[in-house]
Amino acid sequence: MSEEKKSLNFIEQIIEDDLANGLTKDKLRFRFPPEPNGYLHIGHAASICLNFGLGLRYNAPVNLRFDDTNPAKEEQEYVDSIKYDVQWLGFKWDKELYSSDYFQQLYDWAVQMIKDNKAYVDNQSSEQMALQKGTPTEPGTDSPNRNSTVEENLALFAKMKNCELEEGSHVLRAKIDMKHVNMHMRDPIMYRILKRHHHRTGNDWCIYPMYDWTHGESDYLEQISHSICTLEFKSHRDLYDWYVDQVYDFSKLRPKQREFARRNLSYTVMSKRKLLQLVEEKIVSGWDDPRMPTISGLRRRGYTPESIRTFSETAGISKRDNVTDVALLEYCIKDDLNKTAPRVMAVLNPIKLVITNYPEDKEEWLTAENNQEDESAGSRKVPFSREIYIEKEDFKEEANKKFFRLSIGKEVRLKNAYIIKGESVVKDENGEITEIHCTYDTDSLSGSGTEASQRKVKGTLHWVSIKHAVKAEVRLYDRLFTEEAPDSQKDKDFKDFLNPDSLKIIAAFVEPSLKEANILDRFQFQRLGYFCVDKDTTKTHLVFNRTVPLRDSWTKMSG
RNA sequence: UGACCCAUGGUGUAAUGGUAGCACUCCGGUUUUUGGUAUCGUCAGUCAAGGUUCGAGUCCUUGUGGGUCAACCA
């Protein structure tokens, strides 16, 4: 097997360099650290694929660590959905861990820091502290509490911990440097009082550690070698390192934070805040609305885990701002489904077609391939009869020669069935066509091997037998926004760019084999697109979501 | 008016001082019982100016443009 040299992304490069400089491979360990305060989206998928991909590449463990230090926002529901999504994407974590597992250790270390005169309790208001913090261009000033004695601080911190003080009245701060050029180093808050029930620790604590104080120490405790996060944490790195310094034992591995650019997708928004807004304002039906860029939304839309992994891999990572074309994501799912999705026939915009020379009471069950790309997919039977539905768009009374479909006097193939010829139309009083009358070539049955069956006709239409057709609700989804980057337009709200046509619900007819379909089953509706069975489906009511339409070079050139 | 990060076709990425490549998109040809797929092809790029070097997308300087940082959020 020829070893094709795959280029490394910059994170892999860093790891290779570390390995070359003496870090041993067995020390490699990664983590994916979501906060359980919302649902995962395609941007998280990039991080998941990166971290777990690294684990696979280096045969190293990857922990799933919930960063649950803010009980005001976090819920078990989110923990469950995140676990489900990560495993659905196809990854296995080494350990399921929680930042809250380390609350006691963190507390003990904080006490030690107070003893070392490296932390102090501040009783100022957040407004006062903000004022003293300075600005990026002006240094801050010291808090009047900065020089409290160790004893005073210890006593106050104990009171904080014992729930004897009011929420918001006191915080523990690291004593670093109020004039530091990095705002994050100006005596950052380590603990705040929060009398909240925590989804795991219950009411054990009424002080909760802040992100910065928690994250690096958690990485250190888990001996994570490379702690990978997004770019907006770059300026936190100084603090991350400072905190690790406070507890670092030289015999242990020292974790390293590195940052990459978050993945943005065109025609959608990715921030949790905005996604939450879409849900709360009922612009979408929920976190798993098939138009949402959430993992659960994509799943319900019909995306496969494989396609999302391929997308992440193909898009790659770097450190520059990006808006990846959603067309790449769509390519990934079409490419996957083309190989795997069974082909079926469904008519979305039906018009009746009568084959006048086909016996009225006759019906045939014809053989149809399930997937031309995959012989092992086998075949099924589809019923054929005198009256069928075809798409309205597939007929025109008078044809221009580029129109490969049905018109009066012209022949087309009915997929898996016969060649038919347009003869006449029936119209209502408004001149609207209500029926198309055709004749069929009795010797032209697909696969029969006759000379007539091998005639080349320019067009092939899909169809369903009216007598056997099954009614189905079909939800046609389109992009949620009309702008590539809806949230980066100056002076405009992202909701100004909502696409009014992002969802169209239609009544369609599908072939009877689909009655057996299960929720989340994916199909190609031939000549139309990929569709999956929605969870709203019941025994008597089929609902399909359109995942993505097929490429359509006809409407492109004609329209 | 600070610090830090970033800048390669329309988009996303690669080239580790030595032929600017890959994928998507767009456009066109061939094949096709899906106007799909497959396949072939076309268009298209190193932000700018200096410098170092035999040689610079890559290193240095300056500029330009974009981004990040001042929650008791993560």
Please confirm, yes or no, whether A35 is among the known catalytic residues. yes
Q: How far is CA A453 from the centre of its chain?
A: 46
Q: What φ, ψ does residue A296 adopt, rounded to 5°?
A: -70, -35
Q: Strand, helix or coil at A525?
A: strand
Average pLDDT (A29-53) is 98
Identify the pLDDT of residue A471: 98
Q: Strand, helix or coil at A433?
A: strand
CA angle A156, A159, A165 (to 5 degrees): 100
Q: Could you tell me which residue, A155 or A401, shows the higher pLDDT?
A: A155
Q: Are A411 and A329 in contact (CB under 8 A)?
A: no
Q: How many whole angstroms separate alpha carbon A20 and alpha carbon A5?
A: 18
Q: Strand, helix or coil at A517?
A: coil
Q: How many whole angstroms separate alpha carbon A343 and alpha carbon A345?
A: 7
Whether nucleic acid strand B comes within 7 Å of the CB of A379, the answer is: no
The model's confidence at residue A400, banded by pLDDT at 50, 70 and 90, is confident
- The string of pLDDT tens digits covering residues A155-169 is 999 999 999 999 999
Nucleotide at minimal C1' distance from the A335 CA: B37
- Return the axis-axis angle of helices A42-58 and A305-315, rounded to nearest 10°: 80
Q: Strand, helix or coil at A259?
A: strand
Q: Strand, helix or coil at A378?
A: coil
Q: How many whole angstroms separate alpha carbon A287 and alpha carbon A284?
A: 8
Query: CA-to-C1' distance for A419 and B39, Å?
Result: 28
Going by C-alpha positions, the residue among A470, A366, A475, A354 that lies closest to residue A416 is: A366
The model's confidence at residue A258, banded by pLDDT at 50, 70 and 90, is very high
Does the pLDDT at position A3 exceed 50? no
Going by C-alpha positions, the residue among A194, A186, A160, A201 that lies closest to residue A76 is: A201
Whether nucleic acid strand B comes within 7 Å of the CB of A233, the answer is: yes
What is the torsion angle, in degrees rounded to the nearest 10, for the CA atoms of residue A38, residue A43, residue A46 and residue A48? 0
Length of chain A as a residue count = 559
Q: How many whole angstroms separate alpha carbon A40 and alpha carbon A34?
A: 8
Predicted TM-score (pTM) of the model is 0.96
- Give all strands of the β-sheet with A411-414 in edge-to-edge order: A460-461, A411-414, A419-427, A433-440, A350-355, A387-391, A464-465
In the set A161, A256, A272, A334, the catalytic residue is A272
Average pLDDT (A371-380) is 95
ipTM reported for the complex surpasses 0.95: yes
- The string of pLDDT tens digits covering residues A136-153 is 999 999 999 999 999 999
Please confirm, yes or no, whether A339 is among the known catalytic residues. no
Whether nucleic acid strand B comes within 7 Å of the CB of A35, the answer is: yes
Whether nucleic acid strand B comes within 7 Å of the CB of A124, the answer is: yes
- The string of pLDDT tens digits covering residues A487-531 is 988 788 999 999 999 999 999 999 999 999 999 999 999 999 999
Please confirm, yes or no, whether A77 is among the known catalytic residues. no
| Beta carbons within 10 angstroms of residue A8's beta carbon | 12
Identify the pLDDT of residue A64: 98
With a pLDDT cut of 70, the percent of chain A lying above it is: 99
Average pLDDT (A383-406) is 95
Whether nucleic acid strand B comes within 7 Å of the CB of A173, the answer is: no
Identify the pLDDT of residue A214: 98
Average pLDDT taken over every residue of chain A = 96
One-letter amino acid at A81 equals: S
- Return the bridge partners of A474, or none: A506, A544
Does the pLDDT at position A1 exceed 60? no
Nucleotide at minimal C1' distance from the A140 CA: B70
Those nucleotides of strand B lying less than 7 Å from any protein Cβ are 1-8, 10-16, 23-28, 33-38, 66-74
Q: Strand, helix or coil at A215?
A: helix
The model's confidence at residue A5, banded by pLDDT at 50, 70 and 90, is low
- Return the bridge partners of A5, or none: none
Query: CA-to-C1' distance for A6 and B21, Å?
Result: 12
Whether nucleic acid strand B comes within 7 Å of the CB of A130, the answer is: yes
Nucleotide at minimal C1' distance from the A230 CA: B68
Identify the pLDDT of residue A491: 80
Q: How many whole angstroms separate alpha carbon A316 and alpha carbon A310?
A: 10
Residues 88-117 of A with CB under 7 A from strand B: none
Average pLDDT (A182-187) is 98
Token match 């490069």: residue?
Answer: A13
Identify the pLDDT of residue A559: 62
Q: How many whole angstroms separate alpha carbon A416 and alpha carbon A376?
A: 18
Does the pLDDT at position A4 exceed 80? no
Token match 């053989």: residue?
Answer: A367
In the set A35, A364, A423, A484, the catalytic residue is A35
